DNA sequence: ATGAAAGCGCTAACAA
DNA sequence: TTGTTAGCGCTTTCAT
């Protein structure tokens, strides 16, 4: 019965005994030692190993070698922005193609990054990554930093560890250029105040205008919220700004939103005002939080955060396949064209 | 320098040597063997261990004992419904209080559950859980099932493994009762066709009416989408249904939505029709996908999926602290009262 | 080209 | 009460 063969745990020892060879020979046949070995012996060994469904005990191997086939992932604030977990999924997926699994641990309000890193280290992972749920600068304790091989969606201010982040400036440039290509010329920007993504996107916004030789209308780059930080709780300025913008003459032909949640609010206000999207005013945004963006009416044109690509690239680096070449590697957003622009 | 002491890896051996005792004594002092040991010896050992920052090598221990302090989490379809990752976060958090970390692996379209379980098993976790991103029945291969200690957000049709799921029937009953308490009597239900949560919620919907002796209006339990399954892509029936409902006389005083995304669409249509929420018609829903529910205007009253509680309870069971007592354990939703009802 | 033996760091029998 | 020994399953010198 084949099932039973797979069930019973089979060790190098079993294979060695059945074949009348030593344990070391079997070990060598299955991994390294490729050159110096009778091809025939190796064939026999491999065949039997397959038949018995041999799986090396990675814990034993880990102890011997001091490394487990793991990526330690220390993630900050999984609570707040769950959709960034696409990074985790992608890292898991890509990691597997290099034979690595993921041990994940959450840190945040109640738990320091240092504690998370220490926990990860105890499993002797091949590499440790620190990830945040939105793009930001962090300053990690030196002690922790020494064990971190890569930061994802953030960079340490010391720049002593390679980082992978989304390319916010590119994203803003590209969406603005797309507006221009669509014949839009008067773009208002309801940006996210107080966060890194916001200021970088604003930079790209201005750059694109400059390149095209189009002036940014005064007073049309506005904060979507009152608080310094963009949180669920900060009071929204969207209704006030949109109402004011719609009263102006000429009024904007496009509202660029700091993210899809801002866009969700913008839709609400425009709806109430009877302004048609995109006939009267186009709307575009950042993130591609698909739950929102696809379901809005009309569906929202937005720059998709490259979370999946970031995870893939991170796995490459962590597996040591294709090391980081720059301190901060910026991954481009992708334009998702829907009906709102 | 204290930092250096923590850096250099310290072994039982080091402590034993410095104190002139045997390795076994140190091991015993730090864990089991509590009774039969000179309290003084133990104090000395503990003190030195602390000072040196001793951390047992869990890989070595794992090899010896055949178990690693891990929960293997095999999760299906993290892609589709990222907000269910609250389960993972909560499991991670609660697991840690029992000294367990989480190795997570995603399965789905490209990868069988069996493969995921096999991967998890190789790390010799204390227990393995299988989780899905929405509530459903699954039929896992017998081979995999044997290694699974708990299913989360799903149950195997064989009922041979304990399961933790959200209590959909309770949720529907409770929200309907809340409508009644608010004086609402004519509730239309735009439900999710073809999924388990939908049929269970429908059951609760009817039960609550029956208990209160209020008749369900004929033709007011309607599918939100055309497709048998609720996916992003199935064509929505929301606009048609809402328009039709609003034309009736008497018309509903409440729209209960299959989930928050349906509610998002309902808001759009009601807005367009100039129907005020909740003055003209109240809206309520299920899930509490906070990105949506908090941000809608007015904020949405909804039954929150108990993902966090599910993760906590799962950790208890997996850690063996408080074993499962029933085949299927149903965790109650929580009413989140906002302004839409 | 293969085998024998040591040892990764820890815990569990068995002795003392 | 403490020490000694063996061994978890594997890889890696060192012999053969």
Contacts of A79 in chain B (CB under 8 A): 86, 89
Please check whether strand C approaches the CB of B31 to within 7 Å. yes
The residue assigned the tokens 């070595």 is B60
Give the model's pLDDT for residue A78.
60
Mean pLDDT of chain B: 91
Coil, helix or strand for B110?
Answer: coil
B113 in a domain, yes or no? yes
Query: Do B213 and B239 fall into the same domain?
Result: yes
**Chain B residues with beta carbon closer than 8 angstroms to that of A297:** 265, 268
* d(C-alpha B77, C-alpha B135), whole Å: 12
Q: Are residues A210 and A280 in the same domain?
A: yes
pLDDT at B212 over 50: yes
Q: Note whether B230 and B224 are within 8 A (CB).
A: yes
Q: Which positions in chain B touch A294 (Cβ < 8 Å)?
A: 232
- Which of A237, A267, A231 shows the shortest CA–CA distance to A81? A231
Digit-coded pLDDT (tens) for A28-66: 888 876 656 778 888 898 999 999 999 999 999 999 999
Are residue A296 and residue A173 in the same domain, yes or no? yes
Does the pLDDT at position A292 exceed 90? no
Closest CB to B82 among A82, A119, A292: A82
* Chain B residue numbers touching A123 (CB-CB < 8 A): 58-59, 68, 101
A326 has pLDDT over 50: yes
Residues 6 or more apart in contact with residue A111 via CB below 8 angstroms: none
Cβ-in-10-Å burial (0-12, 13-18, 19+) of B155 comes to buried
pLDDT (0 to 100) of residue A91: 94
Rounded-to-integer distance, Cα B138 and Cα B159, Å: 10
pLDDT average, residue stretch B40-55: 89
A50 plus A78 within the same structural domain: no
Tell whether the model's pLDDT for residue A330 goes beyond 80.
yes
Among positive and negative, which fits the CA dihedral A40, A44, A49, A50? positive
Per-residue pLDDT at A7: 60
- Is residue B1 in a domain? no
**Higher local confidence (pLDDT), A199 or A272:** A199
For residue A202, the enclosing domain spans 168-304
Whether B4 is in a domain gets the answer no
A35: left (phi over 0), alpha (psi -120 to 50) or beta: alpha
From residue B39, how far is each of A141, A301, B35, B42 by CA, in Å?
37, 69, 9, 5
Identify which of B105, B261, B265 has the shortest CB distance to residue A92: B105
Q: What is the pLDDT of residues B275-285, one digit of tens each?
A: 999 999 999 99
- Segment B249-272 shows an average pLDDT of 94
How much of chain B exceeds pLDDT 70, in percent? Answer: 93
pLDDT of residue A35: 58
Asked if residue B293 is part of any domain, the answer here is: yes
Shared domain check, B183 and B297: yes
pLDDT of A157 higher than 90: yes
Q: What is the spatial distance between Cα B5 and Cα B52, in angstroms, rounded to a whole number?
A: 6
Q: What is the CB neighbour count within 10 angstroms for residue A119?
A: 17
Neighbours of B314 (CB within 10 A): 31
Both B87 and B155 in a single domain?
A: yes
Segment holding B154, helix H or strand E: strand B150-156
CA distance B265 to chain A (A): 7
Phi and psi for B197 in degrees, rounded to 5?
A: -55, -40
Q: Quote the Cα angle for B80-A155-A191, to 5°.
A: 65
Res. B238 pLDDT band, cuts 50 70 90: very high
> CB B219: neighbour CB atoms within 10 A?
11
Distances (CA, A) of A209 to A183, A204, A340: 13, 9, 21
Instruction: For residue A86, give the nearest of B82, B102, B261 by CB distance.
Output: B82
A319 and A249 inside one domain: no
Q: For position B1, what pLDDT does the model report? A: 33
DSSP string, B61-101: HHHHHT-EEEEEEEEE-TTT-GGGGHHHHHHHHHHHHTT-E
B297: pLDDT strictly greater than 90: no
Q: Is residue B5 part of a domain?
A: no
What is d(CA A104, CA A314) in angstroms, rounded to the nearest whole number?
15
Sheet holding A282-287, edge to edge: A221-223, A187-191, A254-257, A282-287, A301-304, A334-336
Interface of B with A in 211-240 (CB under 8 A): 232
**Per-residue pLDDT at B35 exceeds 60:** no
Same domain, B150 and B187: no
To the nearest whole Å, the CA of A208 is away from the closest chain B CA by 30
Q: Is the pLDDT of residue A227 over 80?
A: no
Q: What is the mean pLDDT of chain A?
A: 91
Mean predicted confidence (pLDDT) in B226-240: 72
Nearest one of A336, A334, A337 to A307, comparing CA atoms: A334
Label residue B8 by pLDDT band (50, 70, 90).
Answer: confident
Which positions on chain D have an atom < 7 Å from some protein CB? 1-5, 7-13
Q: What is the CATH classification number for the domain harbouring A283?
A: 3.40.50.2300
Is residue B187 predicted with pLDDT exceeding 90? yes
Distance from CA of A287 to the nearest CA of B (A): 13
Express each pLDDT in A230-240 by its tens digit: 555 557 899 99
What is the rounded CA–CA span in Å between residue B208 and residue B204? 6
User: Cβ distance B45 to B26 under 8 Å?
Assistant: yes
- The model's confidence at residue B81, banded by pLDDT at 50, 70 and 90, is low
Q: Are A203 and A295 members of one domain?
A: yes
Contact state of A123 with B59 under an 8 Å Cβ cutoff:
yes
Distance CA B53, CA A114 (A): 15
B157 and B172 belong to one structural domain: no
Please answer yes or no on whether B58 and A122 come within 8 Å at the CB atom.
yes
Q: With respect to residue A252, please indicate whether it lies within any of the assigned structural domains.
A: yes
Question: Torsion angle of alpha carbons B309, A116, A199, A240, nearest 10°?
Answer: 20
* A261 domain-assigned: yes
Within this chain, do residues B195 and B180 fall inside the same structural domain, yes or no?
Answer: yes
Q: Does A82 have pLDDT greater than 70?
A: no
Question: In B, residues 45-104, which contact A (CB 8 Å cutoff)?
Answer: 55, 57-60, 62-63, 68, 70, 78-79, 82-83, 85-86, 88-89, 92-93, 96, 101-104
Please provide residue A20's backbone torsions phi and psi, each rounded to the nearest 5 degrees.
65, 30
Counted domains in chain B = 3
Residue A316 domain flag = yes
Q: What is the mean pLDDT of residues B60-82?
A: 85
Residues 28-57 of A with CB under 7 A from strand C: 28, 33, 35-38, 41
CA distances from B278 to A141, B267, B300, B338 (A): 50, 11, 10, 11
Q: Can you give the pLDDT at residue A36?
A: 67
Does the pLDDT at position B253 exceed 80?
yes
pLDDT at B6: 46
Nearest protein residue to nucleotide C4 (CA to C1' distance) is A22
What pLDDT shows up at residue B20? Answer: 87
Judged against a pLDDT cut of 70, whether residue B36 lies above it is answered with no
A243 in reach of chain B (CB within 8 A):
no
- Residue A11 has a pLDDT of 93
Question: Residue A260 — very low, low, confident or very high, per pLDDT cuts 50/70/90?
Answer: very high
Token pair listed for B131 = 């989780």
Tell me how close the Cα of A56 comes to any Cα of chain B, in angstroms: 8
Q: Which pLDDT belongs to residue A41?
A: 84
Nearest CA in chain A to B68: A59
Statement to judge: residues B224 and B243 lie in one domain? yes
């Amino acid at each position: 019965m084949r099932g039973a063969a797979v069930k019973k745990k089979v060790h190098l020892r079993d294979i060695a005994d059945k074949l009348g060879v030593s344990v070391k020979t079997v070990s060598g046949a299955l991994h390294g030692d490729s050159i110096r070995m009778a091809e025939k012996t190796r064939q026999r060994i491999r065949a039997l190993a397959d038949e018995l469904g041999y799986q090396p005990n990675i814990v034993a191997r880990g102890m011997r070698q001091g490394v487990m086939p793991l990526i330690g992932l220390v993630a900050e604030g999984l609570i707040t922005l769950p959709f960034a977990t696409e990074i985790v999924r992608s890292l898991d997926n890509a990691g597997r193609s290099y034979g690595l699994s993921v041990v994940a641990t959450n840190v945040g309000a109640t738990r320091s990054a240092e504690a998370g890193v220490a926990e990860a280290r105890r499993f002797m992972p091949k590499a440790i990554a620190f990830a945040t749920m939105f793009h930001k600068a962090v300053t990690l304790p030196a002690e922790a930093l020494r064990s971190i091989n890569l930061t994802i969606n953030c960079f340490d201010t010391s720049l002593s560890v390679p980082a992978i982040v989304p390319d916010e400036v590119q994203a803003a440039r590209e969406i603005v250029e797309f507006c221009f290509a669509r014949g839009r010329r008067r773009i208002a920007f309801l940006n996210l105040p107080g966060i890194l993504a916001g200021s970088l996107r604003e930079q790209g916004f201005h750059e694109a205008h400059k390149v095209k030789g189009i002036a940014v209308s005064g007073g049309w780059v506005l904060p979507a919220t009152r608080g310094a930080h963009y949180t669920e709780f900060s009071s929204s300025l969207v209704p006030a700004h949109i109402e004011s913008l719609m009263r102006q003459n000429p009024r904007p032909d496009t509202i660029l939103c700091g993210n899809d949640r801002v866009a969700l609010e913008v839709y609400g206000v425009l709806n109430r005002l009877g302004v048609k999207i995109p006939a009267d005013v186009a709307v575009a945004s950042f993130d591609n939080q698909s739950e929102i963006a696809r379901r809005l009416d009309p569906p929202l044109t937005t720059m998709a955060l490259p979370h999946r690509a970031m995870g893939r690239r991170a796995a490459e680096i962590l597996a040591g396949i294709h090391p980081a070449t720059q301190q901060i590697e910026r991954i481009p957003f992708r334009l998702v064209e829907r009906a709102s622009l």
